[in-house]
Amino acid sequence: MSRQDQQFRNYRQEQRLTQHRVVAAAIFVIVLVCILLARLFYLQVIEYDLYQTKADDNRVMLVTDPPPRGLIYDRNGLVLADNRPIHSLTVTPERVEDFIGLRKELSNIIEISDSEWENFDSRLREYRRPYQSITLKSQLTDEEWARVSVDLYRLDGVQVEAQLTRYYPYGEAFAHAVGYVGRITANDLKRVDQQAYQGALFIGKTGIEGFYEKELFGEAGFSKVEVNARGRIMSQLERQSPVPGRDLHLYLDARLQQYAYDLLGDYKGSVVAIDPETGGILALVSKPGFDPNLFVRGISVADYSTLRQSKKLPLFNRALRGGYPPASTIKPFMALAGLEYGFASWTERYFAKGYYQINPDGRRYRDWKRTGHGWINLERSIIESVDTYYYQLSNKMGITPIHNFLSRFGFGRSTLLDLNGDSSGLLPSNEWKKAKYKEPWYPGDSVNVGIGQGFMVATPMQIASATSALASRGRYFYPRMADKIGDDAAQFEGDLGGEHDIILKDQGNWERMVNAMRKVITDSLGTARRLQGTKYDIAGKTGTGQVFSLQEDEEYDSEKLDKRLHDHALFIGFAPAKAPKISVFAIFENGGSSSKPADLSKKLFDAYLYGKYPPHYDYLKGKGND
């Protein structure tokens, strides 16, 4: 544009043009400011409540204060499950910026194994609430604790937390009775109050720990705290203290339990001892056991697979779930059934050949004594454990009276009051066989059941409980572990006092049967005569359970096979016979002769009734005996 042109420019008009544009811009500014103000009005006035709540949710966090877990005592006041303080190294992932760097730093300070890192990583992937710390290494030694504490200030997100952890001082002998606690899983959280378990390290999984979880846990405390954006607690607003879990006092006798466990020796097996006056379980042994402490903070994969893969099945609770043929230990009950329904009498005599046949040409059911016992009566059938007597008796009775009578003793059902997961065994009946095999009940089936074989399967707990009912002459208490919860007597649903008592048409039959069982020991032909020579009377009954078949997947191995085919050795007994204080069932798997469980039972009687323990059991005396 040239100079001449400029002279013709209308400066006034150009100024007005720009001024108009400035006014337009001012309007534009005002409109946009109104939008901003409207937005602020919307957020701060209309939606005020929503954001007010959000801001409070942000800053106020409910922190759960886990209560100390109740302790578990044996009958003498010995602590079977304890709480111990430990220091753990924990990490709050949200506060860690550089995991690789942290990993390097930490491994310079203390040793953290690969499996600990693996556990940590897997927990990192699981559900957790933000800013909740994850344990990296539990149970720091004093030295580790000191070394970490020095460097803590520069390790963001790492802290040492003092916690109470569960500890089982007596280990494997008690694992199946007391059970254990373990790390809480997503599944566990579904059945408990999730809020209460925030911050709890573990939950009862099995045994007493599992059954009495609610009582042992107590009530979680809560504190409302103000936190900053990094989850650091700035101040406490409100607090409700936790209510500690209640202590459990068991009927269990720790010394007796440990003794019984040791007496099983290298055999697999089970021992259940019950106080007939209460139904309280004095010993509940399943061998082999395992160290329950391994489970407390989450068991390592290696440890777990070792336990899982062991051929001896240490994790299997034989006392509650082991299904065994009761064998000849069923005979006293069978005899009482015969008497009750008029199929047998004390006076009637029977000629016992070496075998029994249902039909003259039929199969021969053999007696354990090939030559036969000759003329015998009911009492002698108990003393000498005459198989043929029970073949004929059960054949005469048929399965229905047997089923009805035995179920009154708890066979074929679960009567255990305060442990979970017991098997109900199998008490066969007509209906059961029809449903299961679509076949009628044959007399041969009864004959087998008559000596506690065939279809019949019972757990050690069931046989022990039935024995206890026998010992108390029909006063039948459902078996139980807990005596007192805190200071209160334990109460159970379904525990109806005398209602379960077994009343016979002739109540005198109890005493007579106990007498017959005493003669199993005192008689010169008694099958447990080796138990003679005690100051008190023992009543008992031996049993030898046949092991029928191999499991399908087992390979042929002559040595192992032999051992595996050995009979199970069983014994039931109680003492003193007149007024029993203890009844016992013991089984040695593949133990061969029933002398082993009989001897064990006698030792338990000596120990329980007269305190005759080997000296090294003194450490298990408990404070009640001090």
Name the one range near other proteins by CB under 8 A: 199-207, 221-229, 255-263, 393-401. Answer: 221-229
| Side-chain half-sphere CA neighbours of 315 within 13 A | 14
Least distance in angstroms from the C-beta of 44 to other proteins:
4
Query: Which residue number, 97 or 559, has a Cβ lying nearer to other proteins?
Result: 97
User: Residue 488 phi/psi, 5° resolution?
Assistant: -100, 145
Is residue 47 at the binding interface for other proteins, with CB under 8 A as the rule? yes
Distance CA 592, CA 598 (A): 12
27 binds other proteins (CB under 8 A): no
Q: In DSSP terms, which residues pair with 275 in a beta bridge?
A: 280
Q: How far is the CB of 232 from other proteins (least distance, A)?
A: 9
Q: Is residue 233 involved in binding other proteins (CB under 8 A)?
A: no
Q: Which stretch binds other proteins (CB under 8 A): 20-28, 77-85, 145-153, 279-287?
A: 20-28
Q: Which of 4, 12, 25, 223 binds other proteins (CB under 8 A)?
A: 25
Q: Pick between residue 42 and residue 619 the one whose CB is nearest to other proteins.
A: 42
Residues 6+ apart with CB under 8 A from 189: 197
CA angle 435, 439, 445 (to 5 degrees): 100
Contact call for residue 17 and other proteins (CB under 8 A): yes
Q: Does 62 contact other proteins by CB under 8 A? A: no
Which residue's CB is nearer to other proteins, number 33 or number 62?
Answer: 33
Given the rule CB under 8 A, which of 35-43, 248-256, 277-285, 590-598 is the region that contacts other proteins? 35-43
Annotate 178-219 with DSSP letters as a single string: H--EEE--HHHHHTS-TTTTTT--EEE-SHHHHHTHHHHH-B
Q: What is the DSSP code (8-state) at residue 540?
A: E
At CB < 8 A and 24+ separation, what contacts does 423-428 make? Answer: 423/320, 423/321, 423/322, 423/323, 423/459, 425/323, 425/456, 425/457, 425/458, 425/459, 425/462, 426/323, 426/455, 426/456, 426/457, 426/458, 427/403, 427/456, 427/458, 428/399, 428/403, 428/454, 428/455, 428/456
Residue 236 near other proteins by CB under 8 A: no
How far apart CA 448 and CA 180 sit, in angstroms, is: 39
- Verify binding: residue 550, other proteins, rule CB under 8 A: no
Ordered DSSP codes for 214-258: HHHH-B-EEEEEEE-TT--EEEEEEEEPPBPPPPEEES--HHHHH
Tokens in use for 580?
A: 């029993």
Binding residue for other proteins, selected from 170, 230, 419, 444, defined by CB under 8 A: 230
d(CA 397, CA 404): 11
Q: Choose, from 328, 394, 414, 429, the residue flagged as catalytic.
A: 328
Q: How far is the CB of 101 from other proteins (least distance, A)?
A: 20
Q: Does 128 bind other proteins (CB under 8 A)?
A: no
- Residue 435's Cβ-count burial label (10 Å; 0-12, 13-18, 19+) is exposed
Q: Pick the binder of other proteins from 26, 243, 550, 579 (CB under 8 A).
A: 26
Query: Among all chains, which residue has been given the structure tokens 């599992």?
Result: 210
- Residue of 108, 127, 129, 130 that binds other proteins (CB under 8 A): 130
Which of 62, 124, 146, 234 forms a contact with other proteins (CB under 8 A)? 234
Measured from the CB atom, is 231 or 401 closer to other proteins?
231
Q: If 0-12 CB within 10 Å is exposed, 13-18 middle and 19+ buried, where does residue 481 land?
A: buried
User: Binding to other proteins by residue 6, rule CB under 8 A?
Assistant: yes
Known catalytic membership, residue 472: no
Q: Which stretch binds other proteins (CB under 8 A): 11-19, 71-79, 373-381, 522-530?
A: 11-19
| Residues binding other proteins: number (CB under 8 A) | 43
Q: Which member of 63, 164, 227, 313 binds other proteins (CB under 8 A)?
A: 227
Of 286, 294, 290, 339, nearest in space to 317 by CA: 286
Q: E strands of 48-157, at which residues?
A: 60-65, 72-73, 79-91, 134-137
Give min distance, CB of 225 to other proteins, in A. 11
Pairing of strands 72-73, 248-250: parallel
Give the nearer residue to other proteins in terms of CB position, either 109 or 227. 227
Residue 475 CB coordination number (10 Å): 18
SS3 84: strand
449 in Cβ contact with 457 (< 8 Å): no
Which region among 39-47, 239-247, 509-517, 560-568 touches other proteins (by CB under 8 A)? 39-47
Shortest distance, position 552 Cβ to other proteins, whole Å: 53
Interface with other proteins, residue 621, by CB under 8 A: no
Stretch touching other proteins by CB under 8 A, among 27-35, 172-180, 247-255, 500-508: 27-35
Using CB under 8 A, pick the residue from 226, 303, 501, 599 that binds other proteins.
Answer: 226
| C-beta closer to other proteins: residue 33 or 146 | 33
Residue among 37, 550, 561, 579 that touches other proteins (CB under 8 A): 37
| 132 forms part of the interface with other proteins (CB under 8 A) | no
> Which residues of this protein are in contact with other proteins, per CB under 8 A?
1, 5-6, 9, 14-15, 17-19, 21-23, 25-26, 29, 32-33, 35-37, 39-41, 43-45, 47-48, 50-52, 54-56, 58-59, 130, 226-230, 234
- Give me the active site residues, please: 328
